[in-house]
Amino acid sequence: MTESPFAEISGGLVGLNLGLWGLVKLGVVLGLLIYVGFAVMILRQVGLMNQSLSADLSLRLNYLARFYLTATIIVFFIALIFL
């Protein structure tokens, strides 16, 4: 049985028989890992902004940034486990 071109390429290049959706999963997981870094940067940004300007919504924005980082990490693990 002939393999699809993607399976042939992935099998040849990395020695793993990932298949098309395996490669897509790898891309998604790596992308989400980078995005977690972005969410950390957002949290840092909110901290820097609150340090420069203490505002009415400072505390709530801080919690929102932490919530966003947590959500991003959860989505990363969901992608890692369920895809």
Partner 1 sequence: MTKQNPKAVIEDKRPELEKVKEEKKAHPMAAFVPVPSNWRFETQEKKEKIILLLRRHWFTNLSWFLAGVFFFILPGILFLFVSFDFMPLRFRVVGLVIWYLVLAGYFFERFLNWYFNVFIITDERIIDFDFFGLIYKEVSDAKIEDIQDVTYRVGGFVRNLFDFGDVFFQTSAELPRFEFRDVPQPARVARVLRELITEEEIEKMEGRIR
State which of residues 5, 15, 34, 54 lies at the interface with partner 1 (CB under 8 A). Answer: 54
State which of residues 4, 17, 45, 70 lies at the interface with partner 1 (CB under 8 A). Answer: 45
Q: Under the criterion CB under 8 A, does residue 82 sit at the interface with partner 1?
A: yes
Q: Is residue 55 packed enough to be buried (19+ CB in 10 Å), middle (13-18) or exposed (0-12)? A: exposed
Q: Under the criterion CB under 8 A, does residue 63 sit at the interface with partner 1?
A: no
Rg (alpha carbons) of the chain, rounded to whole number: 19
Map tokens 């897509």 to a residue. 24
Q: Are the beta carbons of 72 and 37 closer than 8 angstroms? A: no
Contacts to partner 1 by CB under 8 A:
21, 24, 28, 32, 35, 38-39, 41-42, 44-46, 48-49, 51-57, 61, 64-65, 68, 71-72, 75, 78-79, 82-83
